């Protein structure tokens, strides 16, 4: 089992989704309903099924809910993440001898490569982009909502599959490390070109301003010396019953 390699954690989550019934307008109807919800009627209910999620992804691809991508990028602790809808009949069947699947649900697979501990990551999602998380997982069976935090943690944990092998080509570098390095590289290239013909006195001044422009990119990277384990994965075993005061 290998959920963590270097500074990145490999999370895999599978959640069930109801299959959509027939509707006269099909996806078009759902997309219209989404538009109505986002523009005029925020409490408009949409059916909790795969078609709704497909339309959500489609509209995000067309620029809807830009705050999801923006916040994800700004949080900058995810290298790469993806959502994959696997419909009940889309599990590959490669040979007649392989028994056919007879699933009642469609399935949503989520994977992420993120920095920090499991608990911090889920909590940041819950607190910073609750609307975004709801927009994607609301259509999954028994989704409790992204706030408050504890039921959300339990829901993710219940659907999580451990990774058997996790390869990381930049294990000593967090997402911020990489973004900082790319920023520094770009500015260095520009400065190298612009300063090539400068007189020494001018060079010194320009160099100082160049350094100022990369001063947020100068953190030391690499695996932390004597790397330490992160705290445990929020095991459900230690959740005592919640009680009011």
Partner 1 sequence: MANKSGQAYGLTLLSPILAGTDPSGDPHHMALRAALSEMPNGPQSPLAAVAGTHLARWVVIDDVPFPGVPSHEDHLASRYLLFTACFDGELVPYLEAMRTGMPGWLEQIYGHCIGYPGTADSGAFRRYMVSCQVETSFFVAAYGAATLPAVLRALDAQRRMIAFIQSHQGPTWTGDRLQPEFRKFLVQLEQAPTPAPATL
Partner 2 sequence: MSAPTSPAVAPTPLLDLDDIQGIVLRGNAYHYARYCFFEITDAAEGRAFVGRVSELVTNSQLGPSGRKQPRAMSIALTWQGLKALGVPARSLDSFPLDFKQGMLARAGILRDIGEDAPANWEPLWRSGRVHVMVAVYSHAERPGEMGEKVDMTVQVRNDKAELKREFDTLMGCDPGPGVTLLDPQQDAGMLVIDGRFCNKEHFGFSDGYSQPDIAGSGAPLIRGGGKWDETLKTWLPLAAGEFVLGQRDEAGEIPPAPVPNLLSRNGTYLVYRKLHQKVKSFRDYLRRAGQDYPGGAELLAAKMVGRWADGTPLVLSPDHPYPERPKPKIKSAEDYVEVLRAFTDFRYGYDPGPVAPGSDRLAEGPDPYGVRCPLGSHTRRTNPRDSLGFGGTLVNRRRILRRGLPYGDWQPEGKEDDDGEHGVVMMPLNASIERQFEFVQREWVNYGNDFHQGNDPDPVIGNHPPGAKMVIPGNPGTGRPPHICPSMPQFVVNRGGDYFFVPSLTALRIIAEGKIEDA
- The only residue of 54, 55, 121, 139 in contact with partner 1, by rule CB under 8 A: 54
- The only residue of 64, 65, 86, 230 in contact with partner 1, by rule CB under 8 A: 86
Tell me how far apart the alpha carbons of residues 220 and 225 are, in angstroms, rounded to a whole number.
12
Pair 19, 107: CB distance under 8 Å: no
Of 44-73, binders to partner 2 (CB under 8 A) are: 71
Of 143-202, binders to partner 1 (CB under 8 A) are: 158-159, 161-173, 175, 177-182, 184-185, 188, 192, 195, 198-202
Pair 131, 67: CB distance under 8 Å: yes
- The only residue of 116, 121, 133, 140 in contact with partner 2, by rule CB under 8 A: 116
* Residue number with CB closer to partner 2 (160 or 213): 213
* Residue number with CB closer to partner 1 (100 or 240): 100
Q: What is the CA radius of gyration of the chain?
A: 23
Residue 205 to residues 48, 50, 96, 208: CA-CA distances in angstroms? 60, 59, 73, 5
Q: How far is the CB of 85 from partner 2 (least distance, A)?
A: 29
Number of Cα atoms under 13 Å in the Cβ half of residue 7: 19
Binding of residue 148 to partner 2 (CB under 8 A): yes
Tell me how far apart the alpha carbons of residues 117 and 177 are, in angstroms, rounded to a whole number.
17
Binding of residue 72 to partner 1 (CB under 8 A): yes
Residue 89 CB neighbour total at 10 angstroms: 12
Pair 33, 138: CB distance under 8 Å: no
Q: How far is the CB of 220 from partner 2 (least distance, A)?
A: 5
Q: How far is the CB of 31 from partner 1 (least distance, A)?
A: 15
Select the binding partner of residue 245 from partner 2, partner 1, none (C-beta < 5 to 8 A, by kind). partner 2
Q: What is the dihedral of CA 58, 63, 69, 74, to 10 degrees?
A: 180
Residues that bind partner 2 (CB under 8 A): 71, 74-75, 77, 115-116, 119-120, 123-124, 126-128, 147-150, 174, 176-177, 180, 183, 205, 207-209, 211-222, 224-226, 228-232, 235, 238-245
């Amino acid at each position: 089992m290998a959920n963590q390699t270097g500074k990145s954690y490999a999370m895999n989550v599978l959640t069930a989704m109801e299959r959509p019934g027939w509707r006269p307008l099909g996806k078009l109807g759902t997309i219209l309903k989404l538009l109505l919800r986002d523009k005029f009627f925020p409490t408009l209910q949409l059916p909790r099924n795969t078609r709704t999620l497909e339309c959500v992804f489609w509209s995000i691809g067309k620029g809807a809910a830009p705050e999801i991508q923006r916040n994800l990028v700004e949080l900058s602790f995810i290298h790469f993440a993806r959502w994959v809808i696997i419909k009940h009949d889309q599990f590959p069947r490669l040979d007649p001898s392989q028994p056919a699947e007879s699933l009642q649900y469609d399935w949503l697979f989520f994977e992420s490569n993120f920095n920090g501990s499991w608990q911090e990551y889920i909590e940041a999602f819950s607190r910073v982009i609750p609307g975004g998380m709801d927009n994607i997982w609301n259509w999954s069976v028994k989704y409790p909502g992204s706030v408050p935090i504890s039921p959300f943690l339990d829901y993710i944990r219940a659907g999580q599959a451990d990774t058997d092998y996790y390869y990381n080509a930049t294990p000593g570098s967090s997402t911020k490390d990489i973004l900082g390095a790319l920023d520094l590289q770009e500015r260095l290239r520009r400065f190298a070109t612009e300063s090539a013909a400068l007189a020494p006195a001018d060079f010194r001044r320009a160099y100082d301003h160049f350094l100022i422009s990369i001063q947020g990119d100068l953190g030391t990277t690499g695996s932390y010396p004597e790397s330490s384990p992160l705290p445990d994965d929020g095991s459900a075993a230690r959740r005592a019953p919640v009680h009011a005061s």
